[in-house]
Structure 1
């Protein structure tokens, strides 16, 4: 249900065809700008792609959390992740988002997004109503972070990374089962699994543990610091070891082993250390076979930390906001679905958001 902020001024009216019509100019309260979403009443941007005076950050992925802002507010874990990635001086000032906070003429709170460790949706209450900026979010529970929390609002700002009906993510444990089946089928080959450093790598590790793999998992050095941080946060990842080849052992040292690395490592000399490895990649994009072929992926694993089409449309239907604003993804398909199902929607067409940069 929409929030009660603003009372009658926020109540949707009905057009002749039964669809809701906008009765306030909410786009004056949250505006897409070249730097990112801007809230004039609070004087802050959300996930800005250029340096700004005050930034509210949804999560630590590098396409949302960038250095160089003067003041940054985020969850404690997101701030610590940004410090790991960019150094302690990534912003002039930082503030942990704890509880509802007053910023200018707004009231702001952070709520779990279920995407990666520390990820949050940002609820912004202004005279124009209640806005919820999801950042990136996932409704399939991940043991590596707090689960997504439904937040009632007047305006839902939703991602649409996988906003096409074709995207229906399978059971992640079944996908991990494919990896383990391949390890059993090819015991003489190392399995190199591409996984982004924040969120996906830890999720793959925890899925492997849940599926019964209790042996060592080897890590490319680029994944080590963020895995160590998850361990510091009390998240059990089991036996992790560096993917370092002993000179005396040769390439056969990793026969039958599972090795996690950033996808960019597969095109580097690092991957040549392994003898005839099986190349796998864990991503929602692996449902698109052409992408798997382009990356030279032999074993695509469709494991996503975003909502798929059924979850995205279910979120809009369940929250029933007065308006849905769609960004960084397949906006047109989601807006078309909204139109057919009696929801008012508009594209934001923000730039700068993509897969996690490596």
Structure 2
């Protein structure tokens, strides 16, 4: 029987499948790419052919232009690619995000999870556990110290701050794709029905989510302090003159990394909100126990912690040592 390493292995461009002659989430332009989701550290422009979920393709077109690839194909069902079939399944990370399961004609089934989350997310389909012999997991928060709180608790913290400081704008940093829309949906679920201000860079992707049937309520583009008291902006906006238009704002930032106080201080964040679209330590290890693969491959993150856990649980594991994957570029 063919070994897993012969089905999929790392190359400088990314994970490569010689049986189908394609890459998964390549960081350099390639002839054929399968894309798990549309964050810019996984989805690059310039490939020859791109296979991804319909929503991922549409978001890539918004971000990069309609000609981001020479040819595109929306993933539906099992797709034959040479001597392997690929299928796409929800990852629970952002809208359109998918795990990719590879089914060779002979050999182990491999699931490339991409970035994934096990928390309920109102703006995307939930993670689907898949049977497989090899499971490739991210390790963004792959240490026992990372235990994310309930997002509803963090939203309540934001609303309390707005009550405590009613005369100060609350400017909350959130990535344009996924985090912004999830923040808005969480606020609406908590009963906040007032208009929410948006930095101009966030408008188009929010409009796309609305077009996909996701109710985000009343949103207003904000260019000055005359708009809503609650404003969401990309993190990069806080280092531009845009933020200087607001007098003494409360600066917040929504990220799993806000659980590290030093990171919050580094960014001069007064209101850190620990809201992540990645699995934390209990969710990561719980997923491995639930899926029960024969082998785990670990990528982009603190791989050593996950490898140690696997060793203690007698689960064969190895690091992929892929480079080029970071947080969503701003």
TM-score, scaled relative to structure 2: 0.98
Q: Distance in 1 between matches of 2:230 and 2:48?
A: 41
Check whether the contact 2:310–2:316 (CA below 8 A) recurs between aligned residues: yes
Please tell me whether Structure 1 or Structure 2 has the larger radius of gyration of its CA atoms: 1
1:277 aligns with 2:287: no
| 2:141 aligned with 1:162 | yes
Q: How many angstroms does 1:28 deviate by?
A: 1.7
**2:209 aligned with 1:237, yes or no?**
no
Q: SS where residue 206 of structure 1 aligns?
A: helix
Match of 2:55, SS state, is helix
Cα displacement string for residues 132-191 of structure 1 (whole angstroms, at most 9, x for unaligned residues): 000000000101000000011010010000000000010001000000000000001000
Q: 1:31-42 counterparts in 2 under 5 A?
A: 31-42=9-20
Q: How many residues align?
A: 329
Which residue number in structure 2 is paired with residue 153 of structure 1? 132
Residue of structure 1 in register with 2:66 after alignment:
88
Match of 1:18 in 2: none
Q: CA deviation at 1:25?
A: 3.2
Aligned-residue CA RMSD in angstroms?
A: 0.9
Q: Which residue of 1 aligns with 2:282?
A: 310
Q: Which residue of 2 aligns with 1:344?
A: 316
Distance, in Å, in 2 between the alignment partners of 1:183 and 1:158 is 38
> How far, CA to CA, are the matches of 2:183 and 2:3 in structure 1?
44
Question: Residues of 1 paired with 2:132 and 2:126: CA distance?
Answer: 19
Q: Which of 16, 37, 41 is 1:59 aligned to?
A: 37
Structure 2 Cα separation of the partners of residues 216 and 307 of structure 1: 30
Alignment of 1:11-160 (within 5 A): 25-126=3-104, 127-160=106-139
| Residue of 154, 163, 166 corresponding to 1:175 | 154
Q: 1:215-253: CA deviations, max 9, x gaps?
A: 0000001100000000000100000000122xxxxx4x3
Whole-angstrom distance in 2 between the partners of 1:285 and 1:306? 11
**How far apart are 1:342 and its partner, in Å?**
1.1
Segments ≥4 residues shifted beyond 4 Å: none
- In structure 2, C-alpha distance between the alignment counterparts of 1:200 and 1:104, rounded to whole Å: 37
Match of 1:156, SS?
strand
**Alignment match, 1:204:** 183
CA distance in 1 between counterparts of 2:262 and 2:103 reads 43
- Determine helix, strand or coil for the equivalent of 1:92: strand
Partner of 2:273: 301
Measured after TM superposition, the shift of residue 108 of structure 1 is: 0.7
- Equivalents in 2 of 1:121, 1:152: separation in Å? 12
Name which of 225, 235, 248 aligns with 1:263.
235
